[in-house]
Amino acid sequence: MVTAESPPVPRHVAVIMDGNGRWARERGLPRAAGHRAGAEAVRESIQGCRDLGIEFLTVYAFSSENWARPKSEIKALMSLLEKFLKDKANELMDWDVRLQAIGRLHDLPESCQNQLHETIEKTSGNKGLTLILALSYGGREEIIDGVKSVLDAVRNGHIDEAMITPEVFSQHLYTRYFPDPDLLIRTSGEMRLSNFLLWQISYAELVVLKKNWPDFRAADLAECVDEYASRHRRFGKL
């Protein structure tokens, strides 16, 4: 429970969910088993965010680069995504969680798109945590799409070139309806951003955990938030 005496809690947490394949390999299981276990870790993270009073949670569910993986794995991931969206819809309603998604969503299989839109619509009136799935997402691609959107706005006379600022540009990104992340968590110990929210995490605090994503639990999220609270965010100032 968050109280007036509680340490600062990030408004928006973003997560690079890394290590599903490694988790499965260490147990002699197929990669699909790791992805299924990773879906349970998403559920744990949702619960943890609700308990801590976090308003937004963005999870890197499927990157634009992931399309280069074997077709069998992509098919399994899309099937898991569709099942997660369908099976968890009622649970999201019970938890007052609003679902959103960012990325080149038109690249997803039609059945996934339909289920995604259905669950987004079903949960649209919820007022609690906003869960944002990054799907077919790439940070560089988002910036390129943002540039194209700004150019269209200039050509159509909606804005003048002199009006373009970082704040204006942000309104042309996939994330224009959400605040920038305060805390970025990455699992599996890898020290890289992997093309995730490159514009938005300019001043986010970064916490890297060695454990693989399927082992991530609400208690781990709480520890990351404690680490966040212990830091002094300068935003480039003294």
Q: Looking at the annotation, which residues are catalytic?
A: 18, 66
Single-letter amino acid, residue 141: E
SS3 track for 112-173: HHHHHHHHHHHCCCCCCCEEEEEEEECHHHHHHHHHHHHHHHHHCCCCCHHHCCHHHHHCCC
Amino acid 49 reads C
The token pair that represents 53 in the structure block: 């009073």
CA distances from 213 to 9, 130, 197, 208, 227 (A): 22, 20, 19, 11, 18
Give strand pairing partners of 63: 137
Q: Is 88 helix (H, G, I), strand (E, B) or coil?
A: coil
User: What is the rounded CA–CA span in Å between residue 178 and residue 102?
Assistant: 11
Distance CA 210, CA 26 (A): 14
